[in-house]
C-alpha cells in the first residue's frame, strides 16, 4: 500500500511541526530512550499524520496518540487513519437513498 496515497502538499505550519518532531528524534529520543508501546513509534506516527492530514488534524492525531502511550494501554499496531472525502460518508441532502427491494415470497412446506 502506498504510504502517501492521501498525501497533499504540507502547509508551512506542518513543516515547522515536523521539524520539531524530527529535532526531538535526533536529540531527546537518544537521551530519554524509545519506550513507545505502539508501532510505528509515536514520533514517526506524528510525522506521518502531519504529512497526510496537515498541521491541525495531524497535531490532534499525534496528541491523542501520545496520550494513549502509557503503561496501562496494551499498545500494538496503530497506523495513521486514511484521509476520507467529506462527501463520501453522507449522501447529498437533495437525493434520497435508493428504495429497498420488496421482500421475497417464501414457500413453506411441511416435511
* Residue 105 pLDDT: 64
Contact 21, 50 (CB under 8 A): yes
The pLDDT tens digits for 2-27 are 444 545 666 888 889 988 888 888 88
| Model-wide pTM > 0.85 | no
**Does pLDDT of 59 surpass 80?**
yes
Report the percent of the chain where pLDDT is more than 90: 6
Report the percent of the chain where pLDDT is more than 70: 67
Contacts (Cβ under 8 Å, ≥6 apart) of 67: none
> Which grid coordinates are listed for 42?
509515536
Rounded Cα distance between 73 and 36, Å, is: 11
Amino acid at each position: 500500500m502506498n504510504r502517501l496515497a492521501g498525501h497533499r502538499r504540507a502547509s508551512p505550519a506542518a513543516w515547522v511541526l515536523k521539524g520539531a518532531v524530527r529535532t526531538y528524534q535526533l536529540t531527546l529520543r537518544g537521551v530519554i530512550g524509545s519506550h513507545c508501546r505502539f508501532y510505528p513509534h509515536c514520533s514517526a506516527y506524528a510525522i506521518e499524520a502531519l504529512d497526510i492530514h496537515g498541521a491541525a488534524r495531524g497535531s490532534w492525531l499525534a496528541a491523542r496518540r501520545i496520550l494513549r502511550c502509557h503503561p496501562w494501554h496494551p499498545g500494538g499496531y496503530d497506523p495513521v487513519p486514511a484521509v476520507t472525502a467529506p462527501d463520501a460518508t453522507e449522501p447529498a441532502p437533495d437525493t434520497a437513498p435508493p428504495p429497498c427491494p420488496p421482500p421475497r415470497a417464501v414457500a413453506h412446506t411441511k416435511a
